[in-house]
Chain A
Amino acid sequence: DAGVTQSPTHLIKTRGQQVTLRCSPISGHKSVSWYQQVLGQGPQFIFQYYEKEERGRGNFPDRFSARQFPNYSSELNVNALLLGDSALYLCASSLAVVGSYGYTFGSGTRLTVV
């Protein structure tokens, strides 16, 4: 069975541009969460979606948005990119809103803003 898949794996964007990152959860998992991991730090929570509804939002500006589709895949959008948005963006899937059965992470998308 496929794990959590994220695309693209690497991305280089210019300041001010917009970016869309994609995530497909494990089959049967209905919840997708997004995390930002800056180099040398632990992952920071951005969003959680369950059954296509936003269930949690971290302390990130409105330039960050996300959505979940009927097939439970998800997109993370970041507008007006800043140099500080350079990071590894991780997607995690779980069976339910509260990850009682654990969160499984994808390998991430490495975003570089120049």
Chain B
Amino acid sequence: GQQLNQSPQSMFIQEGEDVSMNCTSSSIFNTWLWYKQEPGEGPVLLIALYKAGELTSNGRLTAQFGITRKDSFLNISASIPSDVGIYFCAGQGAQKLVFGQGTRLTINP
């Protein structure tokens, strides 16, 4: 099935460090979404981006919608232990979301 290219696949960082992950697509999307998934749960929406070039923040999270509408990135500043989880980008199509493979974030206290 179709998936977006998300990198890195995993990250091992120290508490307090900043984190950056990105997502690219061969197709244009008019909406980009970033989700976080924790064990035993479904994905939870973190940030939604609706306009090319848009930069949106949600607390320590900042995401940008690429100008070409084929990419997006997510930054997490000053990571804390509860940031642990799998982060997914998703492009919103007509009736569906197309997800990346996920970035697994592990934090050493």
Residues of A that sit less than 8 Å from B by CB? 4, 33, 35, 40-45, 48, 55-56, 58-59, 90, 92, 97-99, 102-108
Task: Kindly state the separation between the CA atoms of A27 and B99 in the bound complex, as whole angstroms.
Answer: 26
Chain A proximity mask over B52-90: 1 for CB below 8 Å, otherwise 0: 000000000000000000000000000000000000101
Residues of chain B within 8 A of A45, CB atoms compared: 1, 96-98
**CB atoms of B41 and A56 under 8 A apart:** no
Majority secondary structure, A binding face = loop
**CB atoms of A105 and B3 under 8 A apart:** no
Q: Chain A nearest CB: distance from B42 CB in Å?
A: 3
B8 contacts partner chain A, Cβ-Cβ < 8 Å:
no
**CB atoms of A107 and B94 under 8 A apart:** no
Q: Chain A nearest CB: distance from B96 CB in Å?
A: 4
**CB atoms of B95 and A55 under 8 A apart:** yes
Q: What are 14 A-B interface contacts by the 8 Å CB criterion?
A: A33-B95, A40-B102, A41-B102, A42-B3, A42-B102, A43-B88, A58-B96, A90-B43, A98-B95, A99-B92, A99-B97, A102-B33, A102-B45, A103-B97
